Amino acid sequence: MGIVLGQNQYGKAENRVVRIYRDSARHVIRDLNVSTALRGDFSAAYTTGDQAHVLPTDTQKNTAYAYAKKVGIEQIEHYALALGRHFVDDTGPVEGARIEVDEYAWERIIVGGQPHDHSFVRKGQEIRTTTVTIDGKGQDQSAHVVSGLRDLVMLKSTGSEFAGFLTDDYTTLPETHDRVMATSLHVRWRYTTTDHDWGAAYDEIRQTLVEQFASVHSLALQQTLFEMGTGVLEAQSEVAEVKLSAPNIHHFAYDLQRFGLDNDNEVFHVDDRPYGLIQATVQRDDAPDAGRAWETSWSF
């Protein structure tokens, strides 16, 4: 029996990179949180402390900022692909890279009815994300792009039921045919391409997600998620797979009868914890292999 090093990766997390495009008076802003992680044969760093193969995380940080200028940040997928390929292609011991980017949206301040040239307010809804995974060198290199969003908080005040469920000795929940349904959506979708109109695709997918949430008469959050995923796949031929994670933010009708007041789904207490949590994948039955595209930081 021996003790060995297993899977590992290292990098610089949460570089807060802001890029301003100021080629004209009408500035454009890109506001990112960038995390890089490298994979390869770094075993000597672990077993003997020999750093000869280790590109410092400080260097990775410098590179993340330098690439914001050198290749720019037209779209986060484009920037992350360039950064990941650089680490793998230009650093001998590096055999794989994972680049995660969060983007915070801004909108122009309206002054006198006109969008201002260089003043912005944080849009503040959902955060746009991408995770690019590069594996292997030269001809054998693969690249995966998984984009997504999170913290998209939605609520529908009717059009949601929950009934006909399985019961056991611990079941006390009554059936309901009219409830508030609310969630903070976390979605990621896997592209089958590395060359795409990323910004347009993002806007379309976001719109599909919110439209399906609004339009589907929901018999369960599960059903709503499936219709969201299906809607995305039907509209986006370059997407192979959609993963959705949705807390059920419980809105409990408050018992006002005790005070002589009706409450026909009008007054609710929003509870923090516990919350239901539904997680599902909707995919094409011929989806190509995902490689390491879905590996999270922790399951590496």
Considering only 52, 138, 140, 289, the residue that binds a second copy (CB under 8 A) is 52
**Minimum CB–partner distance for residue 211 and a second copy (Å):** 5
Distance of CA 41 to the CA centre of its chain: 29
Could you list the active site residues? 12, 57, 250
For the window 148-177, what string marks contact with a second copy as x by the rule CB under 8 A?
---xxxxxxxxx--xxxxxxxxxxxx----
Identify which of 249, 122, 235 has the alpha carbon closest to the alpha carbon of residue 185: 249
Shortest distance, CB of residue 190 to a second copy, whole angstroms?
11
Q: Which two tokens stand for residue 235?
A: 């509209």
Range 81-100, binding a second copy (CB under 8 A): 90-93
Distance in Å, CB of 263 to a second copy, minimum: 6
- Nearer Cβ to a second copy (140/168): 168
d(CA 30, CA 105): 8
The label of the residue with tokens 């997407």 reads 239
Q: 3-class DSSP state for residue 95?
A: strand
Select 124 or 136, whichever has its Cβ closest to a second copy: 124
Residue 109 or residue 200: which is nearer to a second copy going by CB? 109
What is the C-alpha separation between 87 and 81, in angstroms, rounded? 10
Of 247-286, which residues contact a second copy (CB under 8 A)? Answer: 247-248, 251, 254, 256, 258-259, 261-286
What is the SS3 assignment for 182? strand
Q: β-strand 181-191 against 142-156: which pairing, if any?
A: antiparallel
Nearer to a second copy, 142 or 281 (CB): 281
Segment near a second copy (CB under 8 A); pick from 74-82, 135-143, 191-199, 218-226: 218-226
Q: Is 191 an interacting residue with respect to a second copy (CB under 8 A)?
A: no
Integer angstrom CA distances of residue 111 from 115, 120, 132: 6, 11, 38
